[in-house]
Structure 1
Amino acid sequence: MNDRVSIIGVFGIEGIGKTCIIENLYNQLILSQNFDHVYWVSVSPEHTILKLQDDIAKAIGFNLDDNDERKRAARLHNALNRRKKIVLILDGLSRHFNLDNIGIRTQVNGCKLVLTTRSREVCRRMGCRAREIIEVVPLPLDEAERLFMENVGLNDLVDPEIEEIANQIIRACHGLPLSIINMAEKLRGVDDIREWRHKLNEFQNELHD
């Protein structure tokens, strides 16, 4: 909400929950009265300037019918400039771009840019200042355990052997929320010890591949 902040970068390793955090932010922003437009762009892994321009244009309901990067950047800039109080979210940047080359001017009309990436360097190269770069870190063990138990659907693991397997699974997830939730959902409501052993072995084999 700070008018002096124009770009925010969120970074962390794969599966740490960056997109989930930004989805919650997006949901809050579209319900608030602080911004007139909130746009979400899921950036493809093999993104280029042309592809990114197309994706942004599609998100804002604008058509780019030119193949010249500079002309497209100017047209996209003008389209964004006509919209006031904008938040543009770019989820999944794998490398940096020059914002002017894309057509984004973060200082115009209060336009703010929020990006997610696996790299702190991408945040820096995109123009984020140090205090506006946020690292998402793995969950501590107690929070990882709580998240697993909430999603596995068992209030209490009464079988000591199942409880030990659950602890092994949680530790093997290394605090990554997506891994924790995925494993918990596979074992939701399961009380067969053989199935728990099978899922643990399967998960450990996946980690070693």
Structure 2
Amino acid sequence: MNQYRFDVRAWATVSQQHNIKEILLSLLQSTIKMDDAIKTKGEAELADMLQKSLKRKRYLIVLDDIWSCEVWDGMRRCFPTEDSAGSRILLTTRNNEVARNAGIENLSMQMNFMDQDESWNHFKSAAFSNEVLSSEFETIGKKIAQKCHGLPLTIVVVAGLLKSKGAIEDWESVAKDVTSFITNDPDEQCSHVLGLSYNHLTSDLKTCLLHFGIFLEDSEIPAKNLMRSWMAEGFLKLGNDLEGEAEKCLQELVDRCL
């Protein structure tokens, strides 16, 4: 998709603690000339301004990191539906329910894990800014990237922390135990990002997710064994169909990329 095909290109990060007014102001910055008076207007006025500014224009709007269907339901009314041929709205989300609710199942894209080459290129870019590497650092770096299991977040966190470590011994230490290195990170960047998803769960889903800790790291977890364990521990709401409730909880965690 060529970005220059669009008259207007705008990006807004929604996030978990969303503020509709701030989202509207962020989008309006790319469509009209802003002044202090606009910032004092209410949501309804801003939504009307946005819709009018996009009329009869071909636009590309990115709404990044939407957490709930309610946010999209509230935002979709702000975009004109007439005379908008060729316009595109791109949503990113951690929750499959949001994508399904947008009514775009045939146009949705599920992100896959990175393969070995993609992991290394991503790691190299973040850790070295694509500088020329010695063969020694490249060998160790590839081992570290491989142990990140194709997870972009892990790759970026590890690479960012290693950026300040110039000794090959430090890199070799990390290569032995990437997981421990992330856990001991004083800034807990990875834990913070995953913590957002965790805090957004209901109390029963939090309990079910934490229960994964009884299984060995990187081991296969039989779904039936996991669900039976939840049932036996009394984590689920009491009802006639405990197994159905367990399947629902598991699917919820899958849909939230957890």
Range class of TM-score, shorter chain? 0.5 to 0.7
Is 1:43–1:91's contact at 8 Å kept on the other side of the alignment?
yes
Give the Cα separation in 2 of the matches to 1:89 and 1:170: 30
Give the Cα separation in 2 of the matches to 1:75 and 1:148: 42
Query: Which residue does 2:48 correspond to in 1?
Result: 74
Q: How do 1:115-194 and structure 2 match up within 5 A?
A: 115-127=91-103, 129-149=104-124, 151-152=127-128, 154-157=133-136, 163=140, 167=143, 169-188=144-163, 190-194=166-170
Please report the TM-score for the alignment, with normalisation by the length of structure 2: 0.53
What secondary structure is seen at the aligned counterpart in 2 of 1:50? helix
Which protein has the larger Cα radius of gyration, Structure 1 or Structure 2?
2
Q: Which structure 1 segments of 5+ residues have no match?
A: 2-27
Matched, 1:39 2:39: no
Give the Cα separation in 2 of the matches to 1:196 and 1:158: 9
Query: Which residue does 1:59 correspond to in 2?
Result: 30
**Aligned-CA RMSD value:** 3.6
User: Do the aligned partners of residues 68 and 136 (structure 1) sit closer, same or farther apart at CA in structure 2, a change above 3 Å counting?
Assistant: closer
Higher relative contact order (CA 8 A, sep 6+): 1
Give the Cα separation in 2 of the matches to 1:112 and 1:73: 18
State the Cα deviation string for residues 152-193 of structure 1 (Å, max 9, x = none): 55342379xx73x862x3344221234324423543583431
Query: Which residue does 1:17 correspond to in 2?
Result: none
Query: Which residue does 1:98 correspond to in 2?
Result: 73
**Which structure carries more strand by proportion?**
1
Q: How do 1:7-26 and structure 2 match up within 5 A?
A: none
Matched, 1:205 2:184: yes
User: Do the aligned partners of residues 155 and 121 (structure 1) sit closer, same or farther apart at CA in structure 2, a change above 3 Å counting?
Assistant: farther
Give the Cα separation in 2 of the matches to 1:102 and 1:49: 12
**Percent sequence identity over matched residues?**
23
Matched, 1:89 2:65: no
Aligned pairs, number: 173
Query: Which residue does 2:225 correspond to in 1?
Result: none
Q: Which structure 2 segments of 5+ residues have no match?
A: 192-258
